[in-house]
Amino acid sequence: MAEENERASEDLVEVAKSDASKTKNPLQRAVLFIKQVLAELGKVTKPSRKELINFTGVVLGFVAVVMVIISGLDWVFLNVVTFVFAG
């Protein structure tokens, strides 16, 4: 299945290259673009439940770390500005 999709998309690319000089019509180019997009979408796979949970955990962990870093920097800058301008 994947090989068929890859071959189909490669064929579409070859057709696009060979027809590049002939295809000046914007409608034909748009249709070719849509065909290529659909061929690429055929290659997309959905993650399994385990992968999805793993990816979600990684993203939430990364967001938590960045949140702690930004909060720490905010606290440091608050104290520096308060020290400098408070007197």
| DSSP secondary structure letters along 13-58 | HHHHHHTTTT---HHHHHHHHHHHHHHHHTT--PPPHHHHHHHHHH
Comparing C-alpha atoms, which of 10, 14, 16 is closest to residue 31? 16
Q: What is the DSSP letter of 6?
A: H
Tens digits of per-residue pLDDT, 22-55?
657 888 889 989 999 999 999 999 999 999 999 9
Tokens for 71, please give them: 């909060």
Residue ranges per structural domain of the chain: 1-45, 47-87
Average pLDDT, stretch 53-78? 98
Comparing C-alpha atoms, which of 10, 68, 42 is closest to residue 76? 68
Its pTM stands at 0.55
